[in-house]
Structures are given as structure tokens and as C-alpha cells.
Amino acid sequence: MGARARFWEGLATMLQAGIPLRQTLAHIDASPPRGFSGPVAAMKAAVDAGRPLADGMEAVSAEFARFEIEVVRAAEASGTLDRAARLLADAAESAERSRRRVIGALLYPSAVLLFVPVPLNVHHLVQGRPLAFLGGCLLYASPLLALAAGGLLLLRAARHGKGAARLLLALPLAGGILRDAALVRWAQAYAALDDAGVAADVAASRAAAACGIAALEEPLAAPAAALRVGRSRREAFAAAPLPPDLLAALVQGETSGTLAESLRRAAGGLEARLRTRVDAAIALLPVAATILAGAAVLWVALKIVGGYYSQIPK
């Protein structure tokens, strides 16, 4: 379990046991999760000064996602901080599990792809030129490493830059996964804000900021203007980039007075589908790497055979 998940798990467990927030933070601060002592100290300082826990999170906002801050601020207003901490603990643990699975799934394809330059450059070794062999391998590996680094930078830039976000969302498989993950965060934040009694237009704006993808924030926040003049959620969110089940949850929840619960159920269903898509993407990685490696080896084999036949006297 990562440091973030351990923090939220500890906070949820102690709050659900009836331990006051200040005492809970003092206990966690005495032995904070590794690498998380700064954020814990900032939150403890805010609470000791009589300010909300969310203010302490804002003071170290680089350490927390907007989704976490919005959920905590709403939960403090509604008196459901223990439930919010449990939600965030589960979300952090789920994200950590997915991260470990993706890294584990990338190990084999990475090893295969990094092996590809060996047969492509083995002729240098045969000719007694080891430096040329190493240079050829590095020349091949450099674009792959640059592509991986560029992908990570693009993913980080998508949180604040609309251009990077639109580019990622346009990718066939990864774009759908990122969009679904952002909408799960949006629905969970909106549910927490509704529980706290936040006005519908303010909830729309703050939940949009919590989605974590810059290109989705504006269209998800746009319904706030219609809600501000008394439009229903059906009318306000009609043009929003929401899947049918989330839109239906908004409409049905508004009609029945169970908006938060309806959104949580819909978010749970969307999250289950998201896990299925992630599993499918992970399953494709070794296949794609093996095909690329096989193509490279075949190319080398054809080159060797072609060179052999070219030396046969005619």
C-alpha cells in the first residue's frame, strides 16, 4: 500500500472509531507514512489552528489532487469526513494497484523491445566492433525511451493544458480510459458536494475542477450558468460530455431526491467498466511487443539470407 493510501486508510479507520480529527492527525503525524510527513504536518497545523482540513491540503496542493481537496472540503461541511476518507483510501489503493499492474505488464514488453536491437546489430559483434554494437543498440533504444518520457510529460501536462489533454483524449484506447477515470472523479466529487448541501451551480463548477483533465473542465462546468438561473439538471447537463448512465443518474437523482446516491451508483458502474478496459489494454501490451520483436528478427533473418545469396556466384 502506498503512502497516500496508508494515510487515508489510517484517517478513515480512526475517524470511524470515533477518535476526534485533531487527535487522529496527531497520532498519524507521530509516525507518518514514508514520504508523506510534509502533507500530514500541514494538515495538522491547519486543524490545530482551527481551520478546515482542506485548507491544510490547499497549503500543499502539489501533493493532493483537486478531487481529494474538493471531496474533503465537502465532507467537512456535511460531517461525513470519515466516509470521505474511506472513499479516498479506496481510490488511492485502487490507483496504486492499477499502477503496479501497468508497471508489471510493461516489464515484459519493455524487455522484448529493448532486446530487439541485439539481433539488428549483432553483425557488429561478428565483425569485432563492440563499440559499434553498443552504439547501434543505444541509437535504437533512444527513441523508445524518449517516447516513454514524452508520454509521461504529456500525461502530466493534460491536467492543466487543454492542448495536451485533447491530444490524449483523442487516442483510441488510452483516451477512453482517461476520460472514464476523469468522469468517475467528477461523479464522486459531485456526490460529496451534493451531500454537503452545496448549491447546484457551485457544485457543478467545483466538481468540474476535480475531474483532473483540463479539456473536460470547461464543458463540465458550463452547466453551472444554466443551473444558476433555475434550469433543471436535465436541461443544464444535456450538452455536457457525460455518458448516458451518469446523465440518467443526475436526472433520476434530482427527481427522487437521492442525487448523491444515484451518482455514486453510476460512478461504481463506470469504474467497473474502466477496470475492464484497463485489463484489455494491459493484455494487448505483450502481444504488440512480441509482434514488433518478431518483425525485427524476421527482418534480420531476411537480410542475412539475402546477403548469403548475393555472394553466390552466378
Cell numbers for 64: 493532493
pLDDT for 5 equals: 87
> CA 288 to CA 285: how far, in whole Å?
5
> CA 156 to CA 246: how far, in whole Å?
26
Q: Which residues contact 1 (CB under 8 A, 6 or more apart)?
A: 9, 93, 96
- Mean pLDDT, range 269-292, rounded to an integer: 78
How sure is the predictor about 166, in pLDDT bands with cuts at 50, 70 and 90?
confident
* Amino acid at site 214: A
Q: Is the pLDDT of residue 293 over 70?
A: no
Q: Which residues contact 195 (CB under 8 A, 6 or more apart)?
A: 74, 75, 78, 80, 260
The mean pLDDT value of the chain amounts to 82
Q: Is the pLDDT of residue 308 over 50?
A: no
Q: How far is CA 195 from CA 18, 19, 145, 174, 190, in A?
A: 21, 22, 46, 32, 9
What's the CATH fold of domain 3-90?
Answer: Receptor-associated Protein (1.20.81)
Q: Is the pLDDT of residue 191 over 60?
A: yes
Query: Which residue bears the cell 464522486?
Result: 188
DSSP letter at 61 equals G
Of the candidates 58, 74, 271, which has an alpha carbon nearest to the alpha carbon of residue 190? 74
What is the distance of C-alpha 200 from the center of its chain? 26
How sure is the predictor about 25, in pLDDT bands with cuts at 50, 70 and 90?
very high
The CATH 1.20.81.30 domain(s) of the chain lie at: 3-90
Of the candidates 246, 269, 236, 255, which has an alpha carbon nearest to the alpha carbon of residue 190? 246
**Residues 143-179 as b or e (16 or more Cβ within 10 Å = b):** eeeeeeeeeeebeebbbeeeebbeebbeeeeeeebbb
For the chain, what is the radius of gyration of the CA atoms?
Answer: 25
